[in-house]
Structure 1
């Protein structure tokens, strides 16, 4: 495994943990982590000469992105802000 790939994953996780004030920045960091995972998956599957699973992974990541945006719009409509600390999900 490449050392650069490990650094990218660690920086993505660090960015996700430090930038957790706004929901939009959390969603962008999750998309960054998905792109890093996609690049690692493509790198691994190119050695096996089978890239068919990458389309399934991309489809699931698109669904994840659209669900995240729907949750973001619902949060902004209900609370008026995308601050994670102001929203109580347990009601």
Structure 2
């Protein structure tokens, strides 16, 4: 009699735990049955190559060469002051 109650409690506890673990999975699957359809396809306008090249031609040429480390190291005048 005691063994039967213990087995029933164990089965009930196992069923409760399994139902608690299955509920979030079921919520993630959603309405479509879990089928992944990929990201949505966005229609983008075609690129106008002539307008792109014209815009690149309108960019003026720089007078000085770009120095990405210019702010990290001292300038020429600061080196001579030492």
Q: Which has the larger radius of gyration?
A: 2
TM-score by length of 1: 0.31
Identify the structure with bigger relative contact order (alpha carbons < 8 Å, sequence gap 6+).
Answer: 1
TM-score by length of 2: 0.34
